[in-house]
Amino acid sequence: MAGKTGSMRVMVTGGSGLVGKAIEHVLKEEGGAREEEEWICLSSKDANLIDVAETTALFQKHRPTHVIHLAAMVGGLFKNMRQNLDFWRNNMYINDNVLQAAHDFDVVKVVSCLSTCIFPDKTTYPINETMIHNGPPHESNFGYAYAKRMIDVHNRAYFTQYGRRYTSVIPTNVFGPHDNFNIEDGHVLPGLIHKTYIAKKEGTSLQVWGSGRPRRQFIYSLDLARLILWVLREYNEVDPIILSEGKLWTSSSGYTQYTKLARRMRCPLKKQQMQLLKLWSSKEKWFMTQAKLMVSLRKLPAMLNSASTFLISPSHHSTKPSRRHVTGLWPTTTPLANEDGASCLTAG
């Protein structure tokens, strides 16, 4: 069997999404794949993971020894608010089907991707991995948040009953190539990029919902991809692990325009919008709309597990995994956006 010889057949669900494409880039363009590894990146075209039979058939076909589980029903704030039940039911089906199939086909390790939205809305800061189940998540996306939380429950149950070493990662807000730039259904950074691009192109004022006071922590998708590979190969705990840049945010050629959007790790959203306007030398008027729309004011996690000392430092190009210089494993050189941001909009 592949697992017994030290080789790995890694199946990636959700391979066509933001994080899946980043993993594919690291593997193919940066030499991230190891000789003993075989990688299979799949999308919703390969199987409907909501369906038990299709999920089972997928595992039967590929017989993975390891799984990176990224597939999910996802969306921005407005889509979550409209479809909380759909987010809950569909993601519960997907996660249960994937984890049960992994168990049935004797998969050695599963790394599932969670989200910082799983943390309690009313909590103390900084938040860490032990606080996931300490209270209800924010009401705006409770369906998605609870479904993601249940992956941690799944993993613990598989470990206590069967000894399975299935785990999960909790990245901070992800951004990068192949993001969803839909203004209604996308996340905050691509949504702001798209709005700013339209305002500059059409010479109109820029309207941004909210007060601008909520604070978020971000991670570039290629950095997250490298960290997920480290978790797959090196992290052997069932407990979830937060993946973040730590307290350092530095720029490299690979970040190009994107890093200018959120250089400060823990910046209010209003400052991100100002960075966007400065980036494209926009002179258009803009204003924040104090709508009846509330989100969590803070999502600033602190990491207790092994990745807590990871710092983004592209100036170090080590050939071995380093707890302090993870992004130095492979250089990041892919240009992401032209000056007018056009390629950002076509990437998603």
Annotated catalytic sites, by residue? Answer: 144
How many CA atoms within 13 Å lie on the side-chain side of 205?
7
Is the separation of the CB atoms in 246 and 311 below 8 Å? yes
Is the separation of the CB atoms in 111 and 11 below 8 Å? no
* Helix orientation angle between 221-234 and 18-29, rounded to the nearest 10 degrees: 70
Dihedral class, residue 319 (left if φ above 0, else alpha if ψ from -120 to 50, else beta): alpha
Which residues, 6 or more positions from 82, have their beta carbon under 8 angstroms from its beta carbon?
Answer: none
Rg (CA), the chain: 20
Q: What's the token pair of residue 86?
A: 């759909």
Q: Mind giving me the DSSP string for 291-304?
A: -S----SEE-B---
Burial group, residue 335, by CB count within 10 angstroms (0-12, 13-18, 19+):
exposed
How far does Cα 37 stand from its chain's mean position?
23
